[in-house]
Structure 1
Amino acid sequence: MDFKNDLYEILFGAIQEGLILVNSEGVIIELNKTGNEMFGYEESELLGQKIEVLVPMKARGEHQKHRDQYNEHPTSRSMGSALKLDGVRKDGSEFPVQVSLNPFESQTGEKFVVALVSDVTERRENEKTLLKLRESLEQKVKERTKELRESEKLYKSIARNFPSGVISIFDKSYRYLFAEGQGLYELGIETSDLIGLDYLNRIDSRARVLVKQELDKVFKGESKNFEVNVGKKTYSLSAVPLSDAGTEVDRILVVEKNITAEKEVSKKLEETLKQERELTEMKSRFVSMASHEFRTPLTTINSSATLIKKYHEKKSYDKLDKHTDRIKNSVRNLTAILNDFLSFEKLEANQMKASFAQWSIPNILQETFEEIADIIIAEQKIVYKGPKELILLTDGQLLKNSMLNMLSNAIKYSKAKGEIIVRLEEMEEKIVISIQDFGMGIPLNDQKNLFTRFFRAGNVTNIEGTGLGLNIVVRYLDLLKGEISFKSKEGEGTIFFITLPKEK
């Protein structure tokens, strides 16, 4: 037994690839069982045929040229791994193959080539599948990249156009990792210039400690919303930690916005609301005051009218004058109350305006004395001390109304017998009108509230009045660019000072 030949036969039959032996003419002289099965031929059916019978028709001519070139320079090499080759079966069907060529020469000098052929159909299908998967993955990567870029573009656009504010991201050292917002552009700051800089160093020293205290809490996992005042500006800061659940916070996002304008609007709204509440309260007190103050003079008028009728029927004419005077006084009180309410209403509605012109102040005072004469109590006397002529740029009617109010108070709160002294003094830049009475005076505890609306001192509650007179005078003098002040001692009297500026 030739052991060597037997071993070759065993290996030749057992190998799982097609093993084809071809001579220099390209004729198949040997073929193993796997080769026959691979190409669909019966045993010995391919022997004596040219190798091109196993090559697709379209490639046979080219294959002949390649075979001739290979025979001129035969080398061991593999084909079909990088270069795609196809074989053709007996039934004409084609399938992908990989071929390894190994030339050798017999002892007689005859040249042969051993072709090791592998059916790579499954591998080719896997390659196609992998290619499709790769292409699909590449497409998804492209789409996702596009989405991320669009998302990043949108985010930057939103952040960049964030009104009057800045959106920033900081690391634990408070250094900028990201910054965008209109607030930066309003300051002429490029976002790229901030990256890596210390945020806290850019904050006003007056707010730095507070901001760091609050943001330190955010690095511990809290979300914070707080306001910071820097000079006349107010900033709102909202900060959130940036981390996955369970991990340490190493970055925070801070939204910083200048809310000064919003605060101003809010403040104005609060002031308006306060004024509305005060107006509602004022109207309520107005109605209450009117009903109370009107009741007394109307009752007096009614009772006096009834008594006049009775005295007239009894021909007791000597008693008529007393009740006629009471009716006149009550009518004057009603008129004064109505005038106060009407003036107050006009002032509240900003309907009262000053009309400046040249006026003689002594003449205005004299007209006031004449108009007030009807309400002077018996044996009271108004004494004027001042120049006979003094011209001032002012509103004569508003000044006269102020003096009528002041003199009316002086008469009401003075003794039945006594003087009311009115002084007029001219100084370099102003004039001063003082009204002095020697009546009951103003209690010390009440003096701080004297010019507020509806206020009446504790020692005059039994004397008719609305508590609006002095408040009206203050507002008249505001229109005249003037001021009012006073000195008073309870039981000794009061002196009021009206100061008006002179034309420059």
Structure 2
Amino acid sequence: MFKSDDVFYKICFDSILEGICIANEEGRIVMINSALGEIFGYKKSEILGRKIDFLIPKSHHHIHHEQFNSFVKSPKKYKKGKGREFLGLHKNGSTLDLEIGLNYIEHEGSFYAKALISEIGTRKKHELLIKERNRNLEFEVEQQTAQLTHVVSELERSNLKLKEEIKERIIAENKAKIALEKEKELNIMQTKFISLASHEFKTPLSGILTSAGLIEKYNDKEPNGNINSHVTKIKNLVIQLNNILDDFLFLENTESENYAMRLSRFKFCDLINKLVKDAKAILKEGQKIEITPCKFSVELLQDRKVIDIIIKNVLYNAIKYSPEYSVIRMKIHNNDVLKISIEDEGIGIPKEEQEHVFERFYRAKNALPIQGTGIGLNIAKRYLVKLNGSIDIQSREHKGTKVVLQLPVTYKNLKAQD
């Protein structure tokens, strides 16, 4: 087929990528291909005729001799792989990781061993790297598994704790609901009792006031200053008690929300002038009320009684908590809404207690020695909200208090509109 088969076979022999080494039964190398020289770093001339030993580290010579002699005595074909690995010695002295496949040839009555050799150092490195990575991965998995187990355990404990907390919270909420219902019942009972007592007090107080008026009338025939003084005092005390009872009756209506607004048209200045006139009866010695003249003709469509209660509570507080010979100043402005400011020179409200003054029955610590119920401002605030108005307090302890009320001229039921 070819002009020179020997040349063709030689080209094929040298072109094989794996190293081929053929040795006689003495272990001397008689033929190699180019790839073998490249693996060990030698030229062909440096290898041919030499024993195979020089391509193997000295520490492995005895093993090689045993294996080679055994192969010569009982030759077999051994494919590459399946553990057929050994160490080689490079020309530069470095160790090579090699893999070998064995076969044998008999030619002209002579025995030859044929070895097919591959350099597997790179593969070994990759295998070692893969093994190392696998070990690291296994270690990481173990670590992560341990951490996950710990986290799961913690979550289970937290879950149990949370269940206990939820259980306790439900129990506490149920107790709180029961307590709240009892408190509501108690508040209703208290309010009803206060209302009942207030109604019962109204009748005898009215009688006392009538009797005081008759005493004053009879005294006109034979004037006695002491009698007039005591009668005035009795009237003032009755007026104060009546105001307190009115507050309690309004408190019942506020709590039950049964109070229906009784709207009417009235002149605001008439209401203010009457309030100031009535308040003079309870002024302390030397006290006086200075009022910006209320001359504008504003007509309100509101519940006159509610407006009266709100302003009277604020004005009477100013008188009650101010000393003798002090001045209570009342100013009235009419723009889009009515603005009434009442300023006194009284004991004032401690800064830390100002946020509580609208709470029912609350009284500041410096007000405790002075008689009072602690419901006046609470009622004023509740009804101002109902009237769509507002109340603002500015106060400094020992300096006085300024209360600013704002009222719409016409009452509008915003809830009904909604």
Q: Normalising by the residue count of structure 2, what TM-score does the alignment of the two structures yield?
A: 0.47
Higher helix residue share: 2
Higher relative contact order (CA 8 A, sep 6+): 2
